[in-house]
A and B are shown apart, each in its own frame.
Chain A
């Protein structure tokens, strides 16, 4: 049961971050997902990313829809407000919350059913709107809670646990996000924490919609031979194109890489994301080429991972709506109500 609290006993030697918190301070309740679930690895990576960034947990809001993935916000950041909402509708909630209070760090956790079927429309429009949120799509190609139906991300020809092939085309969240004008698009694998944690950190610092598709095998319904979302298939067939390192502001940048292969992107708060290209023919600043590269590799049976695309010069929803530095929720009522004298004056128009 998700309300079982973990014991709050900390080992005195646990490492602390800049604000004096240990990783335990970023945890939530005990998971109720299946042992070995990819989602739990993602939760661990999220905890790690927030801890490393030293973000005070109570300044975060974590939102989700419905499904296995959407349960996970209960398992991290117990001191953050959480919202486990309705199926596929988390993007609209985070949009409204963000309009009301842009000073909060928002993370949305969703799954492939939640994002690519019932919630496809909301996801698309939140991307278009460039809502400032880290959106993690925990992608296992299957409906787990209802016991094993294909989701919209299941590859054509992949087999269900009962051996039935999927006959429909798959929706690739990253390709879709690219076509919709997403400003941050990444893909990773739940089993690759070294890749995932820096991506999550960069996504949290991105001012705008940061979309991360994380392939996350379902050990119970989609980890068999014939599945393209299994641990075995994913380990075999992922190919990393751009490695991301996240560097906090004012930290010296060490040059351990060949400078020609490194590209540095300055985020809005002054922090830096250092991109190391692994594939020579890949450019994460070129939306069209990124799109075609992913398609090409897909045709070759390979899943491209890493930071696939980033743009830091577009306006997020807050900027599009000309919202000021003070969040709307903090504006005193006196600044919102025009008062009785103005009402009397205004009404001369209605005579």
Chain B
């Protein structure tokens, strides 16, 4: 098992023990060695004490999907020994704290045990309970650096960068790293057959999570009002927005801010603030998760019908109800597409990684204002909260926000009359006016029945005329949402169609299937309403495997409803246990269906 730059390992600790900084230190060091790396934080809905895991996949080939197959387990949490030891691949390794006699639950004859007295070493070299616990984590990072061949100089540099201004902290961290490193070097054959060798595959890349990237997108899009109610896994997005705004949008001289962040009393209020701010002319957004969208449904219908822009980020987590708040799913596809009572349909964007989260955040504001309607950006916990290796974010300085049809005071002064919902241009989009612009721009926004002049109505024809135009308008957005990504020969018998974060797993699966001689065409949808090319893809292939992360095949349902292609043409491949999709799920699903057909 000599797998240089192709392996995965997992670290099992307790929540709140400080392992996060050790784990990110390892991730970053591998990244700096030029080797593609992905980290998945598997954490509990808890502040301190419950089990937590960190999974690191190293892939010189550049695969970034989660793998459930671990070559090495760092088992430091007795509460999960039993489960953790089972996850090691035969022939793999298990690192444990040998301060205490070996726990019998860790016995397994087909793996190699690596005992390192982490607690003992830290008790001998550090004082104070807190420091001893924290340094135990840094010590395993040191041991891993020896075992896996992580460049010790890079670790030293990283510690310097992180603790440069706190020499005492830097010294104790470096000491802990050295303790682990030296012990491993002198007691085990280092490096193990699974190890790293420097590459140059990360120099144009960054490690970033989707919430941070999406928040940055909001800053670059010129969003000024963020309203929110804290909810896992979206919380870090508004925290990042605040951090960036304090960096870029604070006038230190006058002490004034060029942004407003409103922490609302609930999600109903958060979306209300967003709609109010957009109505007044600001670019405004809210980050939330499924339970928040459930609460926002009423207001989303208002924004749709009164035609007010709004941008909503749904960092999806498992449902229904509270579900598993710290596990990932793609379970809000249906809800977001048709949120609210009454006939509605909403523009949705589906980023597959943090880079697209950045780009689609900007796109979402342009679409919301162009089409005067709510726009959803659906990421998920995996994209939102985990660090992904993605190409560096790019920005075109010639970009200017597309504010859509907003009449200026001059245009209103010259106009004979202004009617808010009159389709003057024939594209289904009526011009809007902002409060305070001009006396002629006044209109009465309402969620009650209205005619094209903006007046209240209970007249069948007047009502129908407006709602039909809105349907035409939103359907028109199918040409403006990001086009699907495709790959493959184009004439294969089989197709794979997926969405969002399943992309990484599907790409890996496509390669593995090709190695088995199974050729597929691939499509990843990136926006809703679906464009014509999606229908064409479904019609062109004998069988299309629709890969997604929810129980009921929501993407397949949406495709069936929106394209008219018979559902029998689509084979559903689903994984919805709460971990990110892996290639192994995709292949297992496809193989099972192929065998059934054969």
Contacts and interface: CB of A to CB of B under 8 A. Distances in A.
B589 interface: no
Given A100-B282, A343-B220, A2 B455 contact: yes
A331 B257 CA distance: 11
A253 B224 CA distance: 42
Given A82-B446, A85-B302, 20 more contacts: A1-B456, A58-B442, A81-B445, A83-B306, A86-B298, A86-B447, A92-B273, A95-B273, A96-B277, A96-B280, A122-B265, A125-B265, A323-B260, A324-B257, A328-B258, A331-B224, A333-B401, A347-B208, A350-B207, A351-B31
Interface stretch (B79-87, B96-104, B392-400): B392-400
A122 B271 CA distance: 12
Interface of B: 28, 31-32, 202, 205-208, 216, 219-220, 222, 224-225, 227, 248-249, 251, 254-262, 264-266, 268-282, 284, 298-299, 302, 306, 392-397, 399-401, 433-448, 451, 453, 455-457
Contacts of B298: 86, 89
A104 B280 contact: yes
A97 B435 contact: yes
Contacts of B256: 322-324
A279 interface: no
Given A328-B225, A344-B392, A97 B434 contact: no
Interface in A294-351: 321-324, 328-329, 331, 333, 335-340, 342-344, 346-347, 350-351
A130 to B, nearest CB: 13
B481 to A, nearest CB: 23
A96 B436 contact: no
Contact of B443 (A81, A86, A335, A347): A81
A93 B264 CA distance: 12
B456 A3 contact: yes
Nearest to B281: A329
A125 B356 CA distance: 35
Contacts of B270: 92
B3 to A, nearest CB: 25
Contact of A83 (B31, B279, B299, B394): B279
A78 interface: yes
A17 to B, nearest CB: 15
A323 B257 contact: yes
Contacts of A129: 262
A335 B273 contact: no
A61 interface: yes
Contact of A86 (B279, B302, B444): B302
Contact of B435 (A74, A95, A101): A101
B272 A93 contact: yes
A96 B224 CA distance: 11
Given A122-B269, A329-B434, A92 B264 contact: yes
A248 interface: no
Given A96-B277, A331-B224, A335-B258, A84 B445 contact: yes
A59 B436 CA distance: 4
A128 B194 CA distance: 59
Contacts of B202: 351
21 contacts: A57-B442, A73-B444, A81-B433, A81-B441, A89-B299, A93-B273, A93-B279, A100-B278, A101-B282, A122-B268, A124-B265, A324-B254, A328-B224, A328-B258, A329-B282, A333-B401, A336-B219, A336-B224, A336-B258, A340-B395, A351-B28
Contacts of B265: 121-122, 124-125
Contacts of A73: 444
Contacts of A239: none
Nearest to A349: B206
A96 B447 contact: no
Interface centre among B216, B441, B444 (most CB of A within 10 A): B444
A96 B208 contact: no
A74 B257 CA distance: 35
Contacts of B248: 338, 342
B209 to A, nearest CB: 9
A96 B270 CA distance: 9
A33 to B, nearest CB: 14
Contacts of B32: 351
A100 B281 contact: yes
Interface in A243-299: none
Contacts of A343: 216, 220, 393-395
Nearest to A342: B248
A336 B456 contact: no
Nearest to A2: B456
A94 interface: yes
B403 to A, nearest CB: 10
